[in-house]
Amino acid sequence: MLCQDQCCTLFKYVVLLAQLIFLFRRRCMKIQISDTTSGLIHMIFASLSFSFMVTCVYLARVLDPSISSTIVSFFRVMVNLIILLIPAIFARDMRNLFGDGRPSLWFRGLFGSLALMLFFFAVQTVGIAESSFIQSSNGMFILLLCPLFLSEKFSFRSLFAIAGSLLGLYFLFDPHLNFANWEGKSVALAAGFFAALSSLMVARAGRSNTPECVVFYFCFVSFFIHLPYFFVYGFVLPSGKLMWLAMIGAGVFASIGQILITKAYQLAKAGIVTAVSYLGPVFSLVWSVLFFEQSFTERSLIGCFLILFCGTLLPFLKTKK
């Protein structure tokens, strides 16, 4: 069965990713590397982990087309929360999860939750690769918002890269597509905006809080944001072992990615880390072809390339802080 093979392959990637992270952490303890280099490596692993998460989300849609993206995002949050709580309970260190309670922690939870729910809807509506590339426009939003939140200025040359990103979005949206695709892609773009705000809050909150604390606030706030949906539409448990595996896999990969990306933003500048994060959509493009045999139009590929190129170029056009 194809879906069973996909789940088994994803499980193997879970083990491989865990081994790579473990080896990286051990290596860092033996040699001295700069904070910037360490932050970029953390971001590479985070991008890989998040691409697996997106694959699990789409796999859940393949297994059960009627499943709501809100249900999937809720399970992803709950798995993430459990992974955080179990070690804290055994270590009797719950206080560390609550950190200093600064506003940026709560805003990180709010913006991150909105980005998550919108992005999962886009993945199930548009597909893995295109939704990932559109959502990755958050790099453009981050650059525009950095002066306001992080006091990091950018040069006017950056406007050319921003224009290139906008052109890439135009190719991905394609004016000739029907409204359903436009709706899903518009939601992916909105997810990118909220993801940018969330990343900036991570950069601020992470200055005085652990990665686990920052992720905990995201899960805590997200839990309550999901509740109104269930009061209105009800709550349905997933059925079937493969479905559970896909849902849990999304949560596990997300948990790994959340901790790694928070650490990355703590170690390196937001702009540079964002440039490396564009590996995520590339990984997603590979998995969409490898696991689901998805195809893309020439316009879509041109749009993906423009967003990738301009997104990685944006941080290196910055000149002042």
How do residues 271-282 score in pLDDT, each as one tens digit?
A: 677 777 777 888
| pLDDT band per the 50, 70, 90 thresholds, residue 191 | very high
pLDDT of amino acid 319: 42
Closest alpha carbon to 249 in 34, 37, 14: 14
- Percent of the chain residues past pLDDT 90, beyond the cut: 10
What is the tens place of the pLDDT at every residue in 99-132? 888 888 999 999 999 999 999 998 888 888 778 8
Q: Is 172 exposed, middle or buried (0-12, 13-18, 19+ CB in 10 A)?
A: buried
Distances (CA, A) of 268 to 100, 203, 217: 22, 9, 22
Radius of gyration of the chain (CA): 19
Which has more pLDDT, 5 or 296? 296
| Stronger pLDDT, 189 or 180, i.e. the higher one | 189
- pLDDT 10s digits, 124-169: 888 887 788 788 777 778 777 777 766 666 666 666 767 777 777 7
Q: Which two tokens stand for residue 33?
A: 């590397």
Strand residue runs (E) in the chain: none
Total-model pTM: 0.78
The whole-number pLDDT of residue 310 equals 73
pLDDT tens-digit readout, 74-93: 998 999 899 888 888 888 77
Maximum average pLDDT range among 15-29, 216-230, 238-252 = 216-230
What pLDDT shows up at residue 61? 86
